[in-house]
Amino acid sequence: MQRTLFQISGAPPSWRVRLGLAFKGIQVDIRTLTTSDREEGDFDIRKLNIRGTLPVLMDNDVSVHNSIAILAWLDRQYPQTPLFGATPGDALEIWQLVMTCYDDFREANRQLLTVVFASRGELPEKGSFEADMLETGATQAHVECRYLEARLSDGRPYLCGDHLSAAEALVYPEVRLIQRAAATKPKLMQAVGLGDMRQLYPYISTWMDRLEAMPEVAGTMPEHWAETLAVN
């Protein structure tokens, strides 16, 4: 059986799918593309996804795109180790958290990290468009982290109970990207109050440690981070 995931390294949508596959123990070939590959290369991703977006999972002759759709399809195609729970109650809890993260946490990080990763690590000029984006994104990121911290404070090992789920696949990349930003742009992240996730959000940090102790999760780390995986 031939399975290939076409992805962008470190992009949350691709990372979600890699985590979902890892949780289910499904082996795939990884093909990493760049924007120029998609637009100028010999391989035309639009033959697999007319919108030209990634990720795209090819499972023999089946092509699936959109990260959430891929996770849902995987659960139907390979029902062992369900990502969306074994009962209607489990599915409700997991889907609600998945879509909240998809809508709210992703947008918070989009605003926050667009500015952070494009910068040289200095605060943007006060009153500028970038400063407003940074403030809005950081404020909302704190809201999302406080919500997750409260969920994990009841002693549950994972976001929706005793088992890994699609919630981890959605949330982990967002938190890990904040950690990456704090490691690479510490002054800027400190200025917006996100410089030390371990001190700010200890339950999230314990949850992250639990995930990162799993070889299958470590194996999803973005390839281009290889030289700077350590987080301060």
Q: Which pLDDT tens digit goes with each residue over 102-138?
A: 999 999 999 999 999 999 999 999 999 999 999 999 9
**Mean pLDDT value across residues 49-63:** 87
Tell me what pLDDT residue 42 has: 55
CA distances from 227 to 73, 162, 165, 215, 221 (A): 34, 33, 29, 18, 11
pLDDT digits (tens, 9 = 90+) for 157-179: 999 999 999 999 999 999 999 99
- What percent of the chain has pLDDT above 90? 85
Tell me how far CA of residue 232 lies from CA of 20, 164, 184, in angstroms. Answer: 27, 26, 9
What integer pLDDT is reported at residue 46 of this predicted model?
A: 75
199's CB contacts (< 8 A; 6+ apart) are none
pLDDT by residue (tens digit) across 177-198?
999 999 999 999 999 999 999 9
pLDDT value at residue 51? 80
Q: What is the pTM of this model?
A: 0.92
Question: Which pLDDT does position 231 carry in this prediction?
Answer: 40
Q: Which domains does the chain have, with CATH numbers?
A: 3-77 (3.40.30.10), 88-214 (1.20.1050.10)
pLDDT at 139 over 80: yes
Average pLDDT of the chain is 92
